[in-house]
Amino acid sequence: MSQGRGKYDFHMGLGLAMSSSIFIRGSFILKKKGLMRLARKGSMRAGQGGHAYLEEWLRWAGLLSTGAGKVANFAACAFAPATVATPLGALSVLVSAILSSYFLNERLNLHGKTGCLLSILGSTVMVIHAPKEEETETLNEMSHKLGDPGFVVFATLVVIVSLILIFV
């Protein structure tokens, strides 16, 4: 893979990861606006047996926006390493705060603003200092990496903790 192509893929992954945050958090705002609109109309809530939310177009737009965000997040991991794409999900906190302030007239207190700033700083540090991703080209390489003691210990711990959480 050429150096230019690798840079293009990295930037494509960054863009997809950021758009994923925007789509997913925007979906919450759309759905809440739709439910607030139904409440103003006096529609019966879903918990009380109402089904008006199924006819609210803002709610459906929010649902589709969630799907688009999940697809963008999945695609981001194909272009950029997960160590880069995943921390950008923390930007969704910032996106949610900005959209809530603008569309729902909600205000952030000092703690909320500090949290947004820390999310930006943390995501930036992670993206700048992310390690290069190793490519596995053959099945032999993959089986060798799966037999690595570090991976075996990690996988064993994941299985044990999962079983404990399931049965305890």
Q: How far is CA 113 from the centre of its chain?
A: 20
Number of domains in the chain: 2
Cβ atoms < 10 Å from Cβ of 106: 13
Query: How far, in Å, CA of 84 to CA of 123, rounded?
Result: 8
Judge if 106 and 151 occupy the same domain: no
In terms of residue numbers, what domain contains 97? 2-131
Judge if 109 and 39 occupy the same domain: yes
pLDDT digits (tens, 9 = 90+) for 100-125: 888 888 888 888 888 788 888 877 77
Query: How far, in Å, CA of 97 to CA of 19, rounded?
Result: 16
pLDDT digits (tens, 9 = 90+) for 17-40: 888 888 888 888 888 888 888 778
pLDDT digits (tens, 9 = 90+) for 34-78: 888 877 877 766 666 666 667 778 888 888 998 998 898 888 888
Judge if 27 and 51 occupy the same domain: yes
Query: How far, in Å, CA of 161 to CA of 150, rounded?
Result: 17
**20 near 76, Cβ under 8 Å?**
yes
Q: Please give the model's pTM, rounded to 2 decimal places.
A: 0.62
If you average pLDDT over residues 132-161, what whole number do you get? Answer: 82
